[in-house]
Structure formats: C-alpha cells, structure tokens
Chain A
Amino acid sequence: MAERLRNRLKELRAELDLTQAQLAERCEVSRKTINTVENGVFIPSTVLALKLAAALERSVEELFWLTD
C-alpha cells in the first residue's frame, strides 16, 4: 500500500491572500513547517491538520486527501 497524502494548502492559502509566514503565525508553527506540508515533504499531525483547517476556514477533508 503506497498511499500518498495530497493537499490544497497552497491554493487555499493564496485564496485568503496569506503568506506562509502569516499562516504559520496563525497556527503557531514555523514557516518551514508550512513549507514542508505544502510540498508534501512532511505529513502533519492531526493537531496541526486541525489548526490549518481552522486557520483556512475549511474542513480537514477539503485540505487533505489520500491518493494511490
């Protein structure tokens, strides 16, 4: 099983006209964390996924999904 976590973080962040640093500030994490999540390099914890969803005013499912 090689499922991959995809996300729309960059797109939704751009919709709200937020920089990585501003989103990081809202979620109380580093800009590096936002960067690596956006690029699919780092899989966020459930807590961070919920924080990201709240910061972007979306549900977690709208932000993240699995692909084969």
Chain B
Amino acid sequence: MTSVVEEADQLSRRRARTSSALAIIFLATQGGSIANHGGAKIDLPFLLWVVVLAVILMFGGGWFSSASVRHTMNDETTLSHRRRALACGFLVSLVGSVLLYVLSFFEEVTAREALRLLITMTIAAALLRFGTLEKRAFRDG
C-alpha cells in the first residue's frame, strides 16, 4: 500500500514535470500567434489555456487524492517555491511592460497584443520557475 508521503512524492514529481512541459508548450503555441490575432472574436482557446495554467500554478494538482496527500503536496517547501515562482512572474511582467512601453514609441502596439504578450510571458515564466524549483528540490538528495 502506498503511503501518504510516497503518493504525494509521485504526484509532486508529475506536477513539476507537467508544469515545465505545459509552460514550454504554451510558449511554443502562443508565441507565433501573438501578432496574428487581429480578429474581432475573443480567442477562447487562449483564455482557456491561461485559466488552466493559472489553476495549476496556484492550486497544483492532487485534486483526486485525499486531503492528507494534498496537504503534503502543498507543504511549506511547495508554498515557498510557489511564492518564488510568482515573484519571478511578476518580475517578467514588469520587465515586459517596460519593454513594451519603450517599443510603443517606435512601433504601433495594440493593447490586445501587449496584454496577450504579457499574459503569455508572465504565466509561462512563473510555471517554468515553479517546475524548475520543484525538480531541483527532488534532485538534491
């Protein structure tokens, strides 16, 4: 029988791998379409991606496991990694905003393009950072 710690361990490793992989897939799929979305329709797949990735980042899996497994998966190391990942996302968002502000003086950037780029960069950076920190925490042993 799998113990709480073992189950949390397996799920946390999977979450770390999934976080990094999803961030890369998101960047790869959204990167090329940032400048090509001039249509009037709301891009629902993009919004769905953002919501799913934000939920994974903030609440982090184990939804079908017991409360004790979820508690172990989200112990103080994980919370610290999450805080650091969010700080990384904030920094990327700030730097991206400054760069877009400067760019807007030389080239026309629509609000929609700017927001989409910022959202993509912010969520991908935070997820990548979270995945990296989590994977590193397992590797050190």
Q: CB of B14 within 8 A of chain A?
A: no
Residues of A within 8 A of B (CB): 20-21, 24-25, 28-33, 35-36, 38-39, 41-42, 44-45, 48
Whole-angstrom CA separation of A62 from B136 in the bound complex: 27
The answer to whether the Cβ of B53 comes within 8 Å of any Cβ in the partner chain is no
Q: How far is the CB of A33 from chain B (nearest CB, A)?
A: 4
Q: What does DSSP make chain A's interface, helix, strand, loop or mixed? A: helix
Nearest CB of A to B5, in Å:
5
A-B pairs with beta carbons under 8 A, tally: 59
On whether the beta carbons of A29 and B72 are closer than 8 Å, the reply is: yes
Bound state CA distance, A48 and B141, in angstroms? 19
Report the minimum CB–CB distance from A18 to chain B (whole Å).
12
| A31 CA to B77 CA, complexed, in Å | 10
Asked whether, in the complex, the Cβ of A30 is within 8 Å of the Cβ of B140, the reply is: no
The reply to whether A42 and B137 form a contact with Cβ atoms under 8 Å apart is yes
Q: Hey, which chain B residues are within 8 Å of A36, CB to CB?
A: 77, 137, 140
